[in-house]
Structure 1
Amino acid sequence: MPRRTSLFDASRIEDAQDLEDVVQDKRASWRANNAKARRRQRRYKKKLIAELPRIISDNQGSYPEDDT
């Protein structure tokens, strides 16, 4: 069973297709119907997208500039 998506997984997203790969609902088979599963996936994606600007700004300061 895959682990639940967390906000720390936002650091693994580099382009839009990665979002689909990162977001996993480990309880998809337990959901009452497909509509509820899709709704939950949208919530996970929305949370990760909201987290991206913070992660990007944190990563920009961590790389030393190369003067070569």
Structure 2
Amino acid sequence: MTKRTTINDAILIEDGQDLERIVKDKRAQWRANNAKARRRQRRYKKKLIAELPRIITDIHSTYPEDEA
């Protein structure tokens, strides 16, 4: 069984295609129908997208650019 997507997986996103690759619903086969599975995937994607600004800020504060 695949690992469920977590908020921490947002670190792995570099472009839009990564979002599709990263988001996994390990319980997709147990959903009542395909519409509910798609809806759940959409929620996972929204959570990861909402988390991106915080992660970008953390990365920039951890590794500040050299200023001349």
TM norm structure 2: 0.92
RMSD across aligned positions (CA) = 1.5
Equivalents in 1 of 2:56, 2:64: separation in Å?
15
Tell me the equivalent position of 1:65. 65
Deviation at 1:63, TM superposition (A): 1.5
1:18-47 CA distances to partner (integer Å, 9 max, x unpaired)?
Answer: 000110000010011000000000000000
TM norm structure 1: 0.92
Across the two proteins, how many residue pairs are aligned to each other? 68
Tell me the equivalent position of 1:39. 39
**Structure 1 segments unaligned to the other structure (5+ residues):** none
**Structure 2 segments unaligned to the other structure (5+ residues):** none
Equivalents in 2 of 1:32, 1:2: separation in Å?
19
Q: In the alignment, is residue 50 of structure 1 matched against residue 50 of structure 2? A: yes
